[in-house]
Amino acid sequence: MTSGPASTAAPAGPGAAPGFVTSPAPGPANAADGLPCAVLWSLSAHARRLLTLAAAGLVLAVVTGRPEFAGVAAPAVLLLAAWPARRPGRVTVAARVTAQQLVEGEQAAIVVRLSGHGDLAVQATITAAEAFESGPGTEQGAGGSAALRVPFRVRQWGVRRVGRLDIVLRDRFRLWEGRLGLTLPRVECHPRPAELRGRIVLSRLPSRLGEHPSRAAGEGIEFAGVRQFVPGDRQRRINWPATTRTGSVQLNTFTAERTQNIVVLADATASVGEKGATSLDLAFRAAAGTIGCYLAAGDRVGLIVYADRLSWIGPGLGRRHFHRLMDLLLGSQPGWELSAALTRLPKAALPPGALILVFSPLLHPRLVEALRDLRERGFSVLVVDVLTAVPAARSRDRVAGLARRVWRLEQQAIRFSLTELGIPVVHWDGQQSLDEPLAPYTRRVMLAGRT
Amino acid sequence: MTGRAARRAGPPGSQGRPPGIWRSPAAARLRDTAAAGLLAALIIAWAAVPAAGARPGTRITIIIAVISAIASLGRLATADAQVGGHAFDTLPVRAAAQAIMATKFLPWSEILIVAVLVLEALHQHGAWHAGVLGVAVLAYLFAVHLGESGTRLRALAPQLPVLAAGLGVLVLAVAAAVLPQLTGGPGELLRVLAVTAAVVAAALALPVTRR
């Protein structure tokens, strides 16, 4: 019972799971529940070779009159004669991705459940897209259904389709191959967050309840000092040893605990450097690490992506906000054309008194102008330089070498001018923890408005 | 969630160049290609030697066999290779991509099989010689198949009875060929037809016995 090849391709049915597209005509079912897929059968390359051997042997036997050539053809003829009868025209495929959201380097898998294929051997492979790496599929089949798990790993952040899942059905003699394919859905891959444990805390914090002890006295838990009791004070805070010593009622005072506003500015205007560790990769990884670190501390974090289109989200709190910020990072289109005219960042994205952490290779002059403007507006700005590449030049090319030196001097001048303006610039190469370059600023309180 | 997992994955120093998490199939591919290469060299040498004193056309057949063997091995070795395809590829990369494309242009293994059988026919060896060649060609075919499909040797287990039967018929055919020859043309043709009929009969009978 052979079936004819299915040559029509159709989009997924109305109830299909998002992202999964089958190349042969699928039914109306959901891909996660099972999608009937047509199988395209063809002679395997092995069968074609056996056929060639059989035909060549028999023809030579007759032409040359040497019976041993018919004997040479015998094993191939016998193997071809033993073709299995059953080749199903349709099988039911249920596929799902184990994780829709990943971080660079994380592993997930496509789990495929196949039924209706009988005793045919099943092989599933992922033809991975550029930013993915796929592993060998493992079968855990039993009886009439097979469950296959094909692992894959993401190498680069972004929102991309994993690739294509190819399923091959083979008979026991491996003479026929039935093929069907699924276009795998998009997965969201976050940049791998840079390691950051220490936090920069400004000396002047907005009057919102948070976790950072501020200079002002308040209702926190960190001891600030002792003062004389005045009517209206809470009696439970009386410091009895001090009261006994001084003869007048003394009261413990505590620091107020405040939150702070952080605005992360990720520069996506340039992506230079080695593939996988470009300035854009480092900027986004550092931004992701910083966002996660400050949100974990209960701070309010906002994000500005300085790219071809300036996009921002104001400071906020919580897990949902973290995902909003990640979505903004992933959705940004790197480039510089439209933002070339922008030297002033929007006021809505910059709450007063916010600490602005900039991750940039400092290659775009307009961004440098924008940083100067921020400083003039009184913001505390700290720049993390993520440039790790220098222009390539041949060793014997004197002009190129000279141009490289000029370029280096220009870069040094930019960094020097920012430092002179009171914007500290630290360098992060992507290799070490982000704590190391930021250590001078995380060990003590950073003066707001001044550095 | 993800941040913790990422920290577990290591410092961001290795960004962009994560170590391979799965064993590279390159070693298995190399092993399969080496096995197929050895068998291809064996069958060409077996069918071609001695080159001197053979019939006309031997040399060109040897050349065809060698070229097709090299191309089929190249195809096997580069089955998973993705070379080039970008707009600004260098000249060597583009040349490599063209070479890989060339190996996929023709069915080189089939050409090799036909070439070695023709080579064998051009020589006046004994019947046992062709029998050994038949076994070696079969081994080559299975080596190429295992290399192409990435399957293990045990995947061939269901075929073993049929293969054994086929080799049995091959032995019978060779034995029939080495029997004292009948005189005259009609007798020789009769013998060839008898062996061919035996092969076909075995092929027809086999599926019945299998079920």
- A&B contacts, CB < 8 Å: 237
What's the pLDDT score for residue A377?
Answer: 86
For the segment A237-259, the average pLDDT, to the nearest whole number, is 87
Task: Give the residue from A188, A192, A295, A434 with the most B CB atoms within 10 Å of its CB, the best one to mutate.
Answer: A192
Residue A299 scores a pLDDT above 90 = no
Residue A10 scores a pLDDT above 80 = no
Q: Return contacts of B34-39, CB within 8 angstroms, 24+ apart.
A: B35/B143, B35/B147, B36/B72, B36/B73, B36/B76, B36/B140, B36/B143, B36/B144, B36/B147, B37/B69, B37/B73, B39/B136, B39/B139, B39/B140, B39/B143
Q: pLDDT grade, residue A177 (50/70/90)?
A: confident
For the segment A46-74, the average pLDDT, to the nearest whole number, is 88
Residue A87 scores a pLDDT above 90 = no
Pick from A49, A107, A153: CB nearest B110? A49
Residue A17 scores a pLDDT above 70 = no
Q: B128: which chain A residues are within 8 Å (Cβ-Cβ)?
A: 68
Q: A193: which chain B residues are within 8 Å (Cβ-Cβ)?
A: 2-3, 6-7, 12
As a residue count, chain A comes to 451
State which residue of chain B sits closest to A275, comparing Cα positions.
B16
What's the pLDDT score for residue A225?
Answer: 85
What's the pLDDT score for residue A320?
Answer: 92
Pick from A82, A193, A278: CB nearest B210? A82
- ipTM, two decimals: 0.78
pLDDT digits 0-9 by tens, B181-201: 555 555 666 666 667 777 777
- Cβ contact A106–B202 (<8 Å): no
Higher pLDDT, A373 or B175: A373
What's the pLDDT score for residue A53?
Answer: 92
Q: What percent of chain A has pLDDT above 70?
A: 85
Can you tell me whether residue A193 is helix, strand or coil?
coil
- Cβ contact B6–A106 (<8 Å): yes
Q: A101: which chain B residues are within 8 Å (Cβ-Cβ)?
A: 2
Pick from B21, B114, B202: CB nearest A56? B114
- Cβ contact B141–A49 (<8 Å): yes
Cα–Cα distance, B34 to B43 (Å, whole number): 14
Task: Give the residue from B120, B199, B204, B208 with the most A CB atoms within 10 Å of its CB, the best one to mutate.
Answer: B199
What's the pLDDT score for residue B125?
Answer: 78
For the segment B62-85, the average pLDDT, to the nearest whole number, is 84
Pick from A153, A173, A292: CB nearest B21? A153
What's the pLDDT score for residue B149?
Answer: 79
- Minimal CA separation from B61 to chain A, in Å: 15
Upper half-sphere CA count for residue A11 (Cβ side, 13 Å):
4
Q: A81: which chain B residues are within 8 Å (Cβ-Cβ)?
A: 203-204, 206-207
For the segment A337-353, the average pLDDT, to the nearest whole number, is 73
Residue A287 scores a pLDDT above 50 = yes
State which residue of chain B sits closest to A151, comparing Cα positions.
B22
Q: Evaluate the omega torsion of the peptide bond into residue B50 and state whether it is cis, within 30 degrees of 0.
A: yes
Q: Among the listed ranges A222-226, A419-423, B140-144, which one has the minimum average pLDDT value?
A: A222-226
pLDDT digits 0-9 by tens, A316-334: 988 999 999 999 988 887 7
Q: Read off the amino acid at residue B173.
A: A
Residue A157 scores a pLDDT above 80 = yes
What's the pLDDT score for residue B17?
Answer: 40
State which residue of chain B sits closest to A58, comparing Cα positions.
B196
Pick from B3, B22, B174: CB nearest A71? B174
Q: A173: which chain B residues are within 8 Å (Cβ-Cβ)?
A: 158-159, 162
- Cβ contact A60–B107 (<8 Å): no
pLDDT digits 0-9 by tens, B75-122: 888 877 766 666 666 778 888 888 888 888 888 899 999 999 999 888
Q: pLDDT grade, residue B16 (50/70/90)?
A: very low
Please answer whether residues A377 and A285 qualify as being in contact, where contact means their C-beta atoms are separated by less than 8 angstroms: no
- Cβ contact A292–B3 (<8 Å): yes
**pTM confidence score:** 0.68
Q: B138: which chain A residues are within 8 Å (Cβ-Cβ)?
A: 53, 75-76
pLDDT digits 0-9 by tens, A114-144: 888 777 878 888 887 788 877 777 766 555 6
Q: pLDDT grade, residue A288 (50/70/90)?
A: very high
For the segment B51-69, the average pLDDT, to the nearest whole number, is 84
Upper half-sphere CA count for residue B15 (Cβ side, 13 Å):
34
SS (H, E, C) A400-451: HHHHHHHHHHHHHHHHHHHHHCCCCEEECCCCCCCHHHHHHHHCCCECCCCC
Q: A65: which chain B residues are within 8 Å (Cβ-Cβ)?
A: 188-189, 192
**Can you read off the two tokens belonging to residue A408?**
């280096």
Residue A98 scores a pLDDT above 70 = yes
Q: A388: which chain B residues are within 8 Å (Cβ-Cβ)?
A: none
Q: Among the listed ranges A12-26, A73-87, A364-378, which one has the minimum average pLDDT value?
A: A12-26
Cα–Cα distance, B171 to B165 (Å, whole number): 10
For the segment A74-88, the average pLDDT, to the nearest whole number, is 78
- Cβ contact A72–B2 (<8 Å): no
Pick from A52, A60, A62: CB nearest B110? A52
- Cβ contact A151–B22 (<8 Å): yes
For the segment A239-252, the average pLDDT, to the nearest whole number, is 91
What's the pLDDT score for residue A115?
Answer: 83
For the segment A269-288, the average pLDDT, to the nearest whole number, is 88
Residue A409 scores a pLDDT above 80 = yes
Q: pLDDT grade, residue A393 (50/70/90)?
A: low
For the segment A325-353, the average pLDDT, to the nearest whole number, is 77
Higher pLDDT, A304 or A12: A304
- Cβ contact B16–A105 (<8 Å): no
Average pLDDT of chain A to the nearest whole number = 81
Cα–Cα distance, B70 to B77 (Å, whole number): 10
Tell me the C-alpha to C-alpha distance, in Å, between residue A443 and each of A72, A198, A422, A439: 82, 8, 18, 6
Q: H-type helices in A342-397, by residue range?
A: 365-376
Cα–Cα distance, A204 to B86 (Å, whole number): 53
Most confident of A43-47, A175-179, B87-91, B132-136: B132-136
Q: H-type helices in B49-126, by residue range?
A: 58-77, 91-103, 108-122
- Choose among A292, A277, A274: nearest CA to A430: A277
Pick from B20, B121, B195: CB nearest A60? B121
Q: B114: which chain A residues are within 8 Å (Cβ-Cβ)?
A: 52, 56
Residue B64 scores a pLDDT above 90 = yes
Cα–Cα distance, A285 to A195 (Å, whole number): 9
Please answer whether residues A20 and A11 qualify as being in contact, where contact means their C-beta atoms are separated by less than 8 angstroms: no
Residue A451 scores a pLDDT above 50 = no
Residue A397 scores a pLDDT above 80 = no
